[in-house]
Amino acid sequence: MTVTIAEEFLLLAYSEDEGRQLISTMQLDPALAGAILAELVIAGRVELSGKKVTIKDPAPLGDDELDATLARIAEYGKNRDASWWVQRLQSGKLRGRLLSRLARAGVLNEERGKVLGIFPTTRWPEAHPGVEADIRERVSAVLAGAEPDARTGVLIAITHAAKLDRKVFPAESRARVKEIAKGDWAANAVAQTIKAMAAAGAIAATGAAVTISAGS
């Protein structure tokens, strides 16, 4: 089946058997927003004009999430940069929609339960491991030396920026991961989007640390 870059990242970001997040929500949600923006760039739908995200081609792609974001940019995107859009797009609702979509497609199972019999929780173990296996095979080939295509390059760069790479590709060369993440394969708009996504995650993490410290 065809999945978006955001969904590919999401599959890597959840453990296969237990279906639990491998990174914090503060890292995960900006990464999903960045992945959606980057995919619109790769698809030739948006670009950077100066530092501002602008519409290049308003034609829908046939994907609900991508097309909804494209419409939002067309309506509200004048004079907004990639950082602004990552901040606005990231949310638990986006994450939930993508997880539910993968479950409806038979890639994940949605398992609801309660912690201590009180607090509701949802796990997302894999129902069709072959989809993630194909993603990992493609990424591993690039990390082993193959030339990255734009989609795989974005996925590796976002995985690195969200600090997920060491969890999902622990045996791969750190130098190669960084080389791909900072490589010249990416258009300027993609590079700026990934920087914005990483910055949004760092801001969220700093804010959480301050809140915890204040409450101690």
How far apart CA 85 and CA 65 sit, in angstroms, is: 14
**Residue 204: predicted pLDDT:** 52
**Residue 114: predicted pLDDT:** 76
Strands (E), the chain: 46-49, 52-55, 111-115, 119-123
Res. 106: pLDDT tops 60: yes
Q: How distant, in Å, are the alpha carbons of 32, 162, 178 from that of 151?
A: 14, 16, 16
Could you tell me the pLDDT band of residue 208, with boundaries at 50, 70 and 90? very low
Q: How distant, in Å, are the alpha carbons of 37, 55, 137, 155, 216 from that of 82?
A: 8, 13, 30, 17, 35
Give per-residue burial for 144-162: e unless 16+ CB within 10 Å, then b. Answer: eeeebebbbbbbbbbbbbb
Q: Is the dihedral of CA 29, 30, 35, 36 positive or negative?
A: positive
What is the reported pTM? 0.88
**Residue 203: predicted pLDDT:** 61
How far apart CA 123 and CA 21 sit, in angstroms, is: 9
Res. 210: pLDDT tops 70: no
Give per-residue burial for 97-126: e unless 16+ CB within 10 Å, then b. Answer: ebbebbbeeebbeeeeeeeeeeeeeebbbb
pLDDT in tens, 127-174: 999 999 999 999 999 999 999 999 999 999 999 999 999 999 998 999
Amino acid letter for position 143:
L
Res. 215: pLDDT tops 50: no
Q: What would the mean pLDDT of 176-181 be, rounded to a whole number?
A: 92
Res. 62: pLDDT tops 50: yes
Res. 205: pLDDT tops 60: no
Q: What is the mean pLDDT of the chain?
A: 88
Please tell me what DSSP assigns to residue 128.
Answer: -
